[in-house]
Amino acid sequence: MTSLRALTLALVAAGCLSVAQAQVRPEVGKPLQQASDLLKAGKAKEALAKIREADAIGGKSAQEQLTIDRMRGSAAQRAGDNATAVQAFESAFNSGKLSGAEQAQVAESLAFAYSQLRDNAKAGQWANRAQQLGANSSSLKQLQAYLQGQSGDYSAIARDAAAAVSASEQAGHRPDEGDLLRLADAYQRTNNGAGQSAALEKLIAYYPKREYWSVVLGRLPRKPGFADRFALDVMRLKLATGNLSKTDEFMEMAQLALQGGYAAEAKLIVDKGFASGALGTGAEADRHKRLRDLANKQDAEIRANIEKEITAANSTKDGNALVQVGSVLAAMGQTEQGVSLIEHGIAKGSLKRPEDAKLRLGLAMAQTGKNRTKAQQTLRSVQGSDGAADIGRLWAIQIAQ
């Protein structure tokens, strides 16, 4: 509840009506102005005493009473006297003299006051009332999520957060980061794996923080049906999003690249590992150097024989070899030729894994740096439940960033 207390203090300042703007008599206005000055100085208890002094004056008008009630509510919340704040704010709300925006403001203050009194039912009622009146602050959303969480109603949190995200997107705005986080958390708590994955993908699309990418990529290999052959693709995404830094990760990625026939990529990974200090030091420094030598050797051999590989791939009846050699060329930096060969392979047909070929084509297109939109479209068109479609979507998101 400490964080809610901080949010309350942020709200109450806005709930205090300016004495100078209020229609009050001088004998009422003087102690209220003194109370306002004391509030600004952080002396809430002293301000309450001055407000009581103003309230003791007889013959008060409805406007004077409203001003007193609103100031009493603000001062009481700052002083930690939430019972008094509730009484004052409810009196102000029921006065019939508040505008719609002022009603929303007071209702929000009441929601926070009741939450401090541990009356979550009343807090929820006033929070919903504030929202109905047009309140839409991030503080109110956090309070509502907190209250729903206290009740264990994560289905309601998911529903409300999803509605907020959808409304923002339909309006052409970036959804609130907090809404996306609440949505992902609520889906996790309600065992909605697909919903959680979708929420996390929106989170990295709108807020591409390294730690969010880490969560997404950490979950991906554990997805039911995810194929081991995409292990290198996951590590490629980790490298691209700043989530590859450990020695064993550089070693594993380089070895996977070598096993896949991507010696040029393996060489690049090893070089990055040495440059960062992750490789080349410690007890296994000699092993790291042997891996670098192997990558350099295989890269030289592949480059020396690549034309023969292209000729052999062109002579086959199916397009599998063309897709593979095209992907290797793209990894070597010969991206345009790589794209052409992969496209030729797809057109030739009889592919063992057509969706994998589409994925390789999208990645090669992205490496050319010429038509990112087309590359993204190709990557997003990848289908399947074995991980290919997931990898394609994530690369499309990363490319956009």
CB atoms within 10 A of CB 288: 21
Q: What is the pLDDT of residue 8?
A: 39
Which pLDDT value is given to residue 141?
A: 86
Q: In 3D, which of 133, 132, 166, 160 has the Cα closest to residue 146?
A: 160
Task: In whole angstroms, give the CA distance from residue 318 to residue 345.
Answer: 7
Q: What is the pLDDT of residues 20-76, one digit of tens each?
A: 445 789 999 999 999 999 999 999 999 999 999 999 999 999 999 999 999 999 999
pLDDT for residue 33 = 93
pTM as predicted: 0.74
In terms of C-beta density within 10 A (0-12 exposed, 13-18 middle, 19 or more buried), how is residue 117 classed? Answer: middle
**Tokens standing for 77?**
């919340």
Instruction: Identify which of 222, 220, 204 has the alpha carbon closest to the alpha carbon of residue 212.
Output: 204
d(CA 393, CA 359): 10
Cα torsion for 153, 159, 163, 169, to the nearest 10°?
110
CB proximity list for 118: less than 8 A, separation 6 or greater: none
Q: Residues of the chain whose pLDDT is less than 70? A: 1-22
Which secondary structure element, helix H or strand E, spans residue 44, and what is its range?
Answer: helix 44-55
What pLDDT is recorded for position 220? 96
Give the chain's end-to-end CA distance (angstroms, integer). Answer: 37
Can you list the domains of the chain with their CATH numbers? 2-115 (1.25.40), 224-400 (1.25.40)
Report helix, strand and coil shares of the chain as percent, to nearest 5.
75, 0, 25
CA–CA–CA angle 8, 13, 18 (5° rounding): 150
